[in-house]
Amino acid sequence: MSWRKLNGELLPNIMDAVESTIIKEIAEGNSIQICIGTDSQMHSTTAEFATVIVFLRKKRGGFIFVNKDDIKKYKGSLKQRMLDEVSRSISIAYELCALLDRYDIPMEVHADINTDPHFDSNVALKEAMGYILGMGFQFKAKPEAFASSNCANKVVQ
């Protein structure tokens, strides 16, 4: 995975980047929380995915790290694409678990899936929620899932 800051600066090792960011934020007296989310867009037959790690500073704003990649000739259904988004978020969340536990940083995994059954993405809600909660993570879906539905969404538009 190729991670970068929103300004385009490459992050060669995401674990080192997250840890040094946590150390810096704690040294500055900030209380932080991590939210992870993924969104995707279809462009013809190419699926463009963006995964974000959102650093929220309590009462002091936040910033993100981004990973973006494309899958050409993507053949998955909408439900499969929603679950692929969740899988990408869980993958990085799982990778960061021990690090965040070491510094006692809370984490949420956000799914770009609507809780309203009138929306198409709702087709994957039960599976996504079970997947995220089953892995032991805090779960948020739309409209509370800002990491995926706002931050990651801005990257794939």
The 10s digit of each residue's pLDDT in 125-147 is 999 999 999 999 999 999 999 99
Neighbouring residues of 105: CB distance < 8 A, sequence distance ≥ 6: 22, 32, 33, 34
Residue 156: what pLDDT?
87
Q: What is the mean pLDDT of residues 18-38?
A: 97
pTM to 2 decimals?
0.93
**Mean pLDDT across 66-71:** 94
Instruction: Please report which confidence band the pLDDT of residue 64 belongs to, taking 50, 70 and 90 as the band edges.
Output: very high
| Strand 107-114 versus strand 32-43 pairing type | parallel
Q: Which pLDDT belongs to residue 33?
A: 97
Instruction: Break the chain into its structural domains and give their ranges.
Output: 3-156
**Which range scores top for mean pLDDT: 13-27, 72-86, 114-128?**
13-27
Q: Token match 């900030």: residue?
A: 30
pLDDT at res. 27: 97
* Cα–Cα distance measured from residue 152 to residue 68, given in angstroms and rounded to the nearest whole number: 9
Give whole-number Cα distances, 84 to 15, 17, 41, 77, in Å: 22, 25, 12, 10
End-to-end CA distance of the chain: 20
Cα–Cα distance for residue pair 75/58, rounded to 1 Å: 41
Q: According to the model, what pLDDT value does residue 41 have?
A: 94
Band (23; pLDDT cuts 50, 70, 90): very high
Nearest 5°: phi and psi at 119? -100, 145
Asked if the model's pLDDT at residue 12 lies above 80, the reply is: yes
pLDDT given at position 1: 64
| Residue 134 CB neighbours (<10 A) | 10
C-alpha–C-alpha distance, residues 157 and 43, integer Å: 10
* Rama region for 34: left / alpha / beta (φ>0; ψ in -120 to 50; rest): beta
Position 157 scores a pLDDT of: 77
Is pLDDT above 70 for 112?
yes
Percent of the chain clearing pLDDT 90 (strictly above): 90
Q: What is the CATH number of domain 3-156?
A: 3.30.420
